[in-house]
Amino acid sequence: MAIDLDRCTGCEACVVACHAENNISTVGEDQAARGRAKHWIRVERYYEGEFPDVKMKFMPVLCQQCDAAPCEPVCPTFASYHTSEGLNGQIYNRCIGTRYCANACPYNVRYFNFYNPEWDKPLNLQLNPDVSVREVGVMEKCTFCIQRIKAAEIQAQAEKRELKDGELKPACVQSCPPTAMVFGDLNDPNSEVSRLAHSNRGTKLLAELGTLPKVTYLQRDSWHDAENT
């Protein structure tokens, strides 16, 4: 995945779409204030400059699907594991809730079910049948909409063809109004996302930790120019 920070307007459509697609329960105001909110993708806000001359910068942060993921080796029950496609899988049924993965994750993108999930009516009627609902005591996180990936793969297989670039989009990418997010196959050198990943605007979040994230952030042009001059 590639995220163009220049295009992100901080509208949070991705957050809402993710909640709807992945059956993420809303925890309510009180619990959210106590740090129990679950947003598999969140839009981080950072402020630049001194008041009143302040600029707000947005950065959507989701699971970086690291190649060397700190969350994976620490899980005692293989609930957090590396899939053959290179994603960080999370098997809810295996999770016993040690929360070690969330502590090890430098991006803080793993979310814990402190209570059993509940939905205000009529939201309880719109659950996605392709995604399991997680019970209390279980860790969860962004899956890159694995259910969509699997569905598209099966469809392509049935039609005896390869997946086309841009054919499938996770909910956040699909719902992004300024198309700040691009999703695709990094193993395909001709895909749009590969091109962006190798762009000279491309950076990785906390790259210095050596986690080899698969999300590329495209720097703002203003930063890029400042760096090049």
Residues near another protein (CB under 8 A) are: 31, 34-37, 42, 44-46, 59, 61, 70, 73-78, 94-100, 102-104, 106-108, 111-116, 135-139, 206, 209, 211
Q: How far is the CB of 168 from another protein (least distance, A)?
A: 28
Output 10 or 166, the one with its CB closest to another protein.
Answer: 10
Output 69 or 149, the one with its CB closest to another protein.
Answer: 69
DSSP result, the chain: -EEETTT-----HHHHHHHHHTTPPP--HHHHHTT----SEEEEEEEESSTTS-EEEEEEEE----TT-THHHH-TTSSEEE-TTS-EEE-GGG-----HHHHH-TT--EEE-SS-----TTGGG---TTSPPP-TT-EEE--SSHHHHHHHHHHHHHTTSPPPTTS---HHHHH-TT--EE---TT-TTSHHHHHHTSTTEE-TTGGG----S-EEEPPHHHHHHHH-
Q: How far is the CB of 29 from another protein (least distance, A)?
A: 14
Output 7 or 94, the one with its CB closest to another protein.
Answer: 94
Q: How far is the CB of 9 from another protein (least distance, A)?
A: 17
Cis peptide upstream of residue 122 (ω within 30 degrees of 0): yes
Output 141 or 148, the one with its CB closest to another protein.
Answer: 141
Q: How far is the CB of 65 from another protein (least distance, A)?
A: 16
Output 139 or 173, the one with its CB closest to another protein.
Answer: 139
Q: How far is the CB of 107 from another protein (least distance, A)?
A: 6
